[in-house]
Structure 1
Amino acid sequence: MNHATFKQSLSADTPPNDASVYLQALWYDSKGDWDKSHELIQDLPDADAAWIHAYLHRKEGDIWNADYWYRRASRKRLSVSLDEEWEQITAALLAR
C-alpha cells in the first residue's frame, strides 16, 4: 500500500484489510474516532505506537502526557500542525 492508496481509503467505511494496527489507528483518527485510535495503540510497547500515542495526546491537548509518549518514542514534539504530523507518521510507516 502506498500513501495515495491509504489516503483514498479514508473515503471508505472501514480501514484497508492490509493496514497494520498502526495505520488503522491513524485511519480511525483521521475519520474522527480518537477513542478507537487510542484503544488500538495504547497498549503496544514499541516506539511507533508511542509516536502515535504522543500525537493523539497532543491532538487531545494533553501536552504533558504527549511529551511523555514522545520521550518513549525517542522523539521531540515538533511545532508542526497536527495534520502535518499525521502525514509524517503515515509516510514513515508506509515507507517500511
Structure 2
Amino acid sequence: MPTSTDAIVERLLARKPLPPLEPKAAWDAELAAAIAGLDEHRFVIAALHLANDDVASCHRIAQASEGDATADLLHATLHRREGDYWNAKYWYARTQHALARADAAAFVDACEAAKGSDGKLEQRQWDELLELVRWTRENCV
C-alpha cells in the first residue's frame, strides 16, 4: 500500500473506471487509511479523500475549516458528490476560491439530472478533482 503522497496520487491517477458521480463508499479503504496517515496539510488530505471517493472523511475536514475558501470549495464538491445538490449549490455560491467555476451550479444541475451518464460528467468531475489535488499540494503548506 502506498505511504507517500506521490505514491497515493499515482495510485489514484491509475484508477479505472472514472469515479462515479455519487460514490457509495471509498474506492479503496486501505488507501483511505494511508491518506489519513499522511503528514500533509489538512486540505491536501481532504482533496485526496475526495479523489478516493471518501466523502465522509473529506466532509469532516472541510466542515472544521468552514469559511476558508479552499474548505468551502471542498465542501461544495463533496456535497455534489454525495447527491446533496441544494447544499452543493449553496457552498459553490459561497466560495471565493480561484478554482470555483462560474458554471458550477449548472454542473450540479447536470449531475442531479444524470440518469446513466455517457462519461462526460464523470470526466469533468475527475478533471476537477485532480485539479483540486494539484492545487492543494502546490498552495497549502
Q: Which has the larger radius of gyration?
A: 2
Q: Does the residue aligned with 2:53 lie in a helix, a strand or coil? A: coil
* Superposition CA RMSD, Å: 2.5
Say whether 1:84 aligns with 2:127: yes
Q: Is the 8 A contact 1:55 1:82 kept in 2?
A: no
Q: What is the CA-CA distance between 1:18 and the residue it aligns to?
A: 2.8
1:28 and 2:49 matched: yes
Q: TM-score, normalised by structure 1?
A: 0.76
How far off is 1:8 after superposition?
2.8
Aligned length: 93
Unmatched segments (≥5 aa) in structure 2: 13-29, 108-120
Gap runs ≥5 in structure 1:
none
**How many percent of aligned residue pairs carry the same amino acid?**
27
Q: TM-score, normalised by structure 2?
A: 0.55
Q: What is the CA–CA distance in structure 2 between the aligned matches of 1:41 and 1:83, rounded to whole Å?
A: 19
